[in-house]
């Protein structure tokens, strides 16, 4: 599927490893398209009962490759990052994440779509959209206050404050903590346990827990429209130019 995502399958678990360690596993257009294709295939593959996301080289992901933001202005509806987060919202099988190092932007927001998250205590989570003059994505404006309450959502989305894997565990975003070198093993153990359960019962229970994804997808699309508008603003263009100049 391409070197930017390492794909493997064992014991009914599909593992998708972000593989741009020199870029802290930032997700670019090609990476998103590989991930979308992998999820589509997994959804129709009876041999896949769970999916694990992880990162190569010590980080989960630094989030969206900022160079790709320029393309969003031309075709926002076709922007692969948007297609990816829609795919997360609609995916019907369990998803597990193994988080070490940096989990920035979509690296944090995608965790709210996962059923189980295992993290290193010192992992660094952050949703700094507002610092670039942008708005949240992946339905975070809906999911984060639902999970954390309005006070914490404001702290992490308005102020963009970072928080650790240990704090994420205390807040209920993370299910289990493990040392960075063992966090993938921990997540894989959880995924194998899910894969060993009766598949239809797992999927039905998951649907009951999450409800109709239509409202979530509608919020994702609302965020995307505001995101595109923000990207076109002089303030955000200036902030991105300053970033690229560094």
State pTM to two decimals.
Answer: 0.94
pLDDT at 235: 84
CB 43 within 8 A of CB 81: no
Give the list of residues 6+ apart from residue 49 with CB closer than 8 angstroms, or none.
Answer: 12, 13, 93, 94, 194, 195, 197, 199, 202
pLDDT at 75: 57
pLDDT at 66: 78
Q: What is the C-alpha separation between 89 and 230, in angstroms, rounded?
A: 23
Q: What is the pLDDT of residues 200-238, one digit of tens each?
A: 999 999 999 999 999 999 999 999 999 888 888 888 878
CATH class of the region 5-199: alpha beta
Chain centroid offset of residue 134 CA: 17
**φ/ψ of residue 57, rounded to 5:** 80, 15
Structure tokens at 210: 């999450």
Q: What is the pLDDT of residues 28-78, one digit of tens each?
A: 999 999 999 999 999 999 999 999 999 999 999 999 987 776 665 555 557
């Amino acid at each position: 599927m391409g070197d930017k995502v390492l794909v493997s399958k064992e014991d009914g678990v599909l593992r998708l490893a972000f593989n741009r360690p020199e870029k802290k596993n930032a997700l670019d257009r090609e990476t998103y398209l590989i991930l979308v294709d992998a999820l589509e295939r997994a959804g129709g593959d009876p041999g896949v009962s769970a999916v694990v996301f992880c990162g190569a080289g010590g980080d989960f992901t630094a989030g969206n490759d900022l160079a790709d933001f320029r393309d969003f202005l031309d075709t926002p509806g076709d922007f692969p990052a948007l297609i990816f987060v829609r795919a997360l919202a609609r995916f019907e099988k369990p998803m597990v994440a193994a988080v070490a190092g940096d989990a920035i932007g979509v690296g944090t927001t995608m965790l709210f779509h996962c059923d189980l998250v295992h993290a290193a205590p010192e992992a660094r989570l952050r949703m700094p959209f507002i610092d670039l003059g942008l708005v949240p994505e992946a339905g975070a404006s809906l999911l984060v206050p639902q999970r954390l309450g309005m006070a914490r959502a404001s702290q992490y989305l308005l102020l963009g404050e970072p928080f650790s894997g240990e704090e994420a565990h205390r807040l209920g975003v993370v299910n289990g903590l493990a040392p960075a070198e063992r966090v993938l093993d921990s997540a894989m153990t959880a995924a194998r346990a899910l894969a060993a359960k009766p598949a239809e019962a797992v999927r039905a229970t998951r649907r009951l827990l999450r409800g109709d994804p239509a409202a979530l997808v509608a919020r994702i699309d609302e965020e995307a429209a505001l995101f595109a508008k923000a990207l076109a603003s002089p303030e955000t263009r200036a902030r991105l130019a300053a970033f690229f100049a560094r």
